[in-house]
Amino acid sequence: MTTDDQVYEVADGYLYLKGLVNTDTQTDPRPYLTGGVWTRDKFNFTYGKVEVRAKMESAKGSWPAIWLLSRKNDDSWPANGEIDIMEHLNFDNFIHSTIHSSIKSSPSTKTVNVNPGEFNTYGVEWYPNKIIFTINEAPTFTYHKEAGADWRQWPFDRDFHLILSQQLGGAWVGNVDSSQLPVDFVIDYVKYYEYNPSRTTALGSN
């Protein structure tokens, strides 16, 4: 991701995170430029509900994602934990939702069919003992904290931050076809609901 202004656009009430061919490799040697936003040290939180309404354009090598990452830097990945709410690859008609930690319980990942070119609401409900993934408010799967689990299976009792990113290329998604760029990741809204331990659901929209 880059801070170059050309990979960000706000228009008609939407945020566009772009993937572009880099036309100035003298200033920045990377072949592609991608946009992303994150809340680290601006808004960190433990537990709660996150919803992001978004749609994705598709291209070979395109990899838009919505994810939560630990604020801590003193552990190596994946020990410090990662919650991937949504990842979309290439022209797939499905998305991935995944938990990363040193020791995983089953299930820790699931694919769900979507039309990526339409707006969908991708969400997660994060509690002290479970993480529920949702699409359009419907649960897709739940990752549970095991009885007696230590931090290796459940590194999710500390602050995380939210990342929205348009990415291009990599070992998982494969090579980029530059003729299919630019490609947009379009964000309608982001909502966070504060966790209320006296209730069974996360409440208190921010």
- Using the structure block, give the residue that is written with the tokens 């331990």: 197
82 is a catalytic site residue: yes
- Considering the candidates 51, 87, 137, 194, report the single residue annotated as catalytic: 87
87 is a catalytic site residue: yes
Closest to 188 (Cα-Cα) out of 119, 134, 137: 119
- Considering the candidates 51, 57, 82, 125, report the single residue annotated as catalytic: 82
Just list the catalytic residues. 82, 87
